[in-house]
Chains A and B, each alone.
Chain A
């Protein structure tokens, strides 16, 4: 059974249709990427899932039914617009937010020091949020989202404001949570992180779903027969079975003619006596897929 089922939700604000007919499912124990350009409807979708907004139509099923007060305690959320009480010491702020997630003071006393230590914030616990760096505030937000051991974690841009060390810390944490069986929904523009972390994804633009599926399946869908080679010799202008040769920095991208496989292309190169350092089938990056899909989507909207 899916942890989250979003079924044909629509939501408008005045004349603006924020999302329309959006459907997707998030499975237990996976990291799910909710992707889309700015203003595509990601945040609205999340707010509908979290029952902050009522959808104009459609429905959301979360943990087997509609949202309830009890289920709010099973969700850890870090919104796009980060927020901590600026004039309150970090530990007091986190204690308060944890009580709102149903933790007792005893539980908080037990867990908070562990989280502060894990995120290297112990020495900063008594500082007010406004005295902390953006990265520290971000880590504070992560503690607020995780301290109550939620079943579902929804994070908008989890790596923003983090340095490489802390980015790795958060990545490890998300993997640890997934391994512990938690369901994670992640919104981000950092496609390399999605490629490294996510199991499945949905791409939304103009409030509509453009593409969804497992990461490997999506990649396969956009895979071409193109190959990238690193050659010691310069390539001739024309090669049999190759429709296009593109010079990259230190390599070439070869586009085979219709009906020609990568294997045949390799045979042709070897037959030509071209010395190769490397030969690989070009898999489109998620960035490229993202741009391609969004551009196609924009074409439809124009």
Chain B
């Protein structure tokens, strides 16, 4: 056990001490943050915040436009100004004081048709600014409170509740799926990076022949266990650092993230999701060890990793199928596959009701797959690690060991 700890410690410190690890650790959140900031800035700077004018030739407008809301960088407002005639509005538009103006013709109350004058494609918000103001005036003419009418138009918020009371959904809370998606993305990143480290370590030991010295110092199963634990530690370190960064970012921008308060996660949900992630990693680690032992060079093994990405990405490809039918055949099958299970099952649990029996069966299946993969990794490791120049064939992997003595 002590040697397993030594192997795990070396693996952990070797990778955590490498430039590559720190580069990856910093570049992933930095990359995501940069993309987010760039998209926000691009969106903000392409948004025209200049006011919009309105000219009423149909004698409809009775109310003053509500320009009381403060326009900020992150929450820009488009103010509406009423102009007495078309020529004044046109002059203001030509001078760039306003981005365009709506002209209500005399026959507007009969035809409900207006013209928006501008030299550029209007942003999406402009139409609602104009129509909301006109609607409010139309309602005022009929002595109807526009706020009441808008509430009626919004309709009721329907909350879904499973019969056993275990799952709830208000039907509009998009952020419920955010948690499983974050779990899926974290799982993907950690499994691929830690699994990649493990594969690299194994193939390198085979390439530089260190493995033969290792095998005469530590039993092969202890080498494997040490490497898997060490690399799992590397993956968990990444998660802890990123979750801490997310937490710090969440704290700093807490005023903008009020919707997070609506996310209610049960303890069992988090435990199940975390357990699935760990099992998924163990399965991937054993798979990587199998590939590493069977291959002869780093380049050769990199090609095979690409194939491993596919099952992890399938739930993302079929996201709509999950949302429309979370308990359908596809969603259920993917819940039983170790690499897709973390996202598939946590997503299903977030948006529908999954029975405890099915969750139990998923765990039984994944633990069985993982144990089988460990057995296979052990066989391939012992048979393939000393084949330096020859790739281990399937026939050699499954050949029966003949030991008579």
Given contacts A52-B386, A55-B403, A83-B209, contact A100 B14 (CB under 8 A): no
Pick the residue among B6, B213, B217, B218 that contacts A83 (CB under 8 A): B213
**A14: CB under 8 A from chain B?**
yes
Q: Which residues of B contact A83 (CB under 8 A)?
A: 205, 208-213
- Give min CB distance, B83 to chain A, whole Å: 73
- CB pair B213–A54 under 8 Å, yes or no, is no
**A81: CB under 8 A from chain B?**
yes
Given contacts A54-B401, A58-B405, contact A85 B216 (CB under 8 A): no
Q: What does DSSP make chain A's interface, helix, strand, loop or mixed?
A: loop
Report the bound CA distance from A256 to B24 in whole Å: 79
- CB pair A82–B386 under 8 Å, yes or no, is no
Interface residues of B in 380-404 (CB under 8 A from A): 386, 388, 396, 399, 401-404
**A72: CB under 8 A from chain B?**
yes
- CB pair A101–B208 under 8 Å, yes or no, is no
Report the bound CA distance from A255 to B401 in whole Å: 54
Report the bound CA distance from A83 to B215 in whole Å: 12
- CB pair B212–A86 under 8 Å, yes or no, is no
- Give min CB distance, A168 to chain B, whole Å: 25
Given contacts A56-B402, A88-B14, contact A72 B218 (CB under 8 A): yes
- CB pair B403–A52 under 8 Å, yes or no, is no
Q: Which residues of A contact B175 (CB under 8 A)?
A: none
- CB pair B6–A99 under 8 Å, yes or no, is yes
Pick the residue among A77, A88, A96 that contacts B6 (CB under 8 A): A96
- Give min CB distance, A116 to chain B, whole Å: 18
Q: Which residues of A contact B212 (CB under 8 A)?
A: 52, 77, 79, 81, 83
Interface string of A83-97 (1 = CB under 8 A from B): 111101000000011
Q: Which of B7, B216, B396 has the largest number of chain A CB atoms within 10 A? A: B216
- CB pair A56–B404 under 8 Å, yes or no, is yes
Given contacts A54-B403, A96-B6, A100-B6, contact A81 B216 (CB under 8 A): no
Interface string of B1-23 (1 = CB under 8 A from A): 01100110010001000000000
Pick the residue among B14, B208, B211, B386 that contacts A86 (CB under 8 A): B208
**B250: CB under 8 A from chain A?**
no
Task: For B14, give the chain A residue with the smallest CB separation.
Answer: A88
- CB pair A57–B217 under 8 Å, yes or no, is no
Report the bound CA distance from A73 to B219 in whole Å: 11
- Give min CB distance, B359 to chain A, whole Å: 39
- Give min CB distance, A236 to chain B, whole Å: 58
Q: Which residues of A contact B388 (CB under 8 A)?
A: 81
Interface string of B217-232 (1 = CB under 8 A from A): 1110000000000000
Report the bound CA distance from A79 to B7 in whole Å: 20
Q: Which residues of A contact B405 (CB under 8 A)?
A: 55-59
- CB pair A77–B403 under 8 Å, yes or no, is no
Interface residues of A in 207-260 (CB under 8 A from B): none
Task: For B3, give the chain A residue with the smallest CB separation.
Answer: A100
Task: For B212, give the chain A residue with the smallest CB separation.
Answer: A79
**B364: CB under 8 A from chain A?**
no
**B214: CB under 8 A from chain A?**
yes
Interface string of B314-345 (1 = CB under 8 A from A): 00000000000000000000000000000000
Report the bound CA distance from A85 to B215 in whole Å: 15
Q: Which residues of B contact A85 (CB under 8 A)?
A: 204-205, 208, 210
Task: For A93, give the chain B residue with the smallest CB separation.
Answer: B210
Pick the residue among B3, B213, B401 that contacts A144 (CB under 8 A): B213
- CB pair A79–B213 under 8 Å, yes or no, is yes
- Give min CB distance, A143 to chain B, whole Å: 12
Report the bound CA distance from A201 to B248 in whole Å: 69
Pick the residue among A50, A54, A84, A99 that contacts B216 (CB under 8 A): A50
Report the bound CA distance from A69 to B216 in whole Å: 9
**A47: CB under 8 A from chain B?**
yes
Interface residues of B in 10-64 (CB under 8 A from A): 10, 14
Task: For B218, give the chain A residue with the smallest CB separation.
Answer: A100
Report the bound CA distance from A15 to B6 in whole Å: 38
Q: Which residues of B contact A58 (CB under 8 A)?
A: 405
Report the bound CA distance from A100 to B399 in whole Å: 31
Interface residues of A in 20-35 (CB under 8 A from B): none
Task: For B226, give the chain A residue with the smallest CB separation.
Answer: A100
- Give min CB distance, B313 to chain A, whole Å: 31
A-B contact sample (10 more), CB < 8 A, given A59-B405, A72-B218, A100-B218 = A14-B396, A55-B405, A56-B402, A56-B405, A57-B405, A85-B205, A85-B210, A86-B204, A100-B3, A129-B208
List chain B positions with a Cβ less than 8 A from chain A: 2-3, 6-7, 10, 14, 204-205, 208-219, 386, 388, 396, 399, 401-405
Can you name 8 A-B pairs with beta carbons within 8 Å?
A: A52-B212, A59-B405, A96-B10, A97-B217, A100-B3, A100-B214, A100-B218, A102-B3
6 shortest A-B CB distances, which residue pairs?
A83-B209, A100-B217, A83-B210, A81-B209, A79-B212, A57-B404
